[in-house]
Amino acid sequence: MPMAEGIDVSKQDGVQIVRINRPQKKNALTSAMYRELVSAFDEGDADPSVAAHVVLGLKGVFCAGNDIGDFLSFAQGGGLPLETILAFLGKLPAIEKPVIAGVDGIAVGVGVTMLMHFDLVYAAPESFFSTPFLDLGLVPEAASSLLVPRAVGHQRAFEMLVLGEPFTADRAYACGLVNAIEPSDRLEEKVLETARKLARKPPEALKLARRLLRGDTADILARTKQEAELFRQRLASPEAAEAFQAFFEKRPPDFSKVRAGS
């Protein structure tokens, strides 16, 4: 059933499909959408007919990260309900059932870092993965400062999270961030087929095995909180305000102005 604010949720064959659907803004996430995502995961986790969650975007765009307009309003002293974002970031390591994502196109910021909490990720060949936190005057979030180095090693994590270099689907696959590359017209069927495969597994054994593989998540939650504190401070920084303003003015940011004014 279509839901408000660009998140559509449906269920079929033991699988809950959560689709990010805000094409006019490249699937950038608003506070309302974070809320919808949290309730979709809560509801799917609580529903005995659901064995796995699937997260999809649209053709050409998975998710362009947080809505920069919301960030800009926070930077200008406006009322971004940051707690809504933090609730989503806290939910990611606490999702109880397997999550499988299909990425077809753009994945930026939290559109990438959420994947680090999922169990299987499939991507179309033209996809690209970008985490430009530094360029926005921010710091990495969603425990990516812990999970990305753990997954790909410090140097590649630094390239991604600090240098802000986008990764192609091939590179993401080579680094182990993506399970397989699937042609765009096959991607969703591959994701759903895999989710249905999980739905046919013995549910109790599936739950236990997933829990074992994921291990203790206390360090992930602690890092999420640590990052969130810095993120909150950075959002209010002149560097971030300049980066957000520059995005909407479709120009490169000029951080020398910030230095001169500081």
Among 44, 55, 57, 66, binds ligand COA (CB under 6 A): 66
From 139, 137, 142, 115, select the one nearest 223 (Cα to Cα): 142
Instruction: Output 245-250 pairs: Cβ under 8 A, ≥24 positions apart.
Output: 245/72, 247/68, 247/136, 248/68, 248/69, 248/72
| 26 lines the binding site for ligand COA (CB under 6 A) | yes
Least distance (Å) between residue 147 CB and ligand COA: 16
Q: Residue 117: helix, strand or coil by DSSP? A: helix
Among 90, 109, 137, 140, binds ligand COA (CB under 6 A): 109
- For residue 13, give both structure tokens: 């064959």
The rounded Cα 117 to chain-centroid distance in angstroms is 9
Residues 34-63 vs ligand COA: string with x where CB under 6 A?
A: ------------------------------
Least distance (Å) between residue 245 CB and ligand COA: 12
Among 54, 92, 136, 240, binds ligand COA (CB under 6 A): 136
| 64 lines the binding site for ligand COA (CB under 6 A) | yes
| Nearest to ligand COA of 78, 186 (CB atom) | 78
Q: Residue 148: helix, strand or coil by DSSP? A: helix
| 108 lines the binding site for ligand COA (CB under 6 A) | yes
Which residues share a beta bridge with 12? 15
Distance between start and end Cα atoms, the chain:
50
Rounded Cα distance between 200 and 45, Å, is 16
| 85 lines the binding site for ligand COA (CB under 6 A) | no
| Nearest to ligand COA of 14, 238 (CB atom) | 238
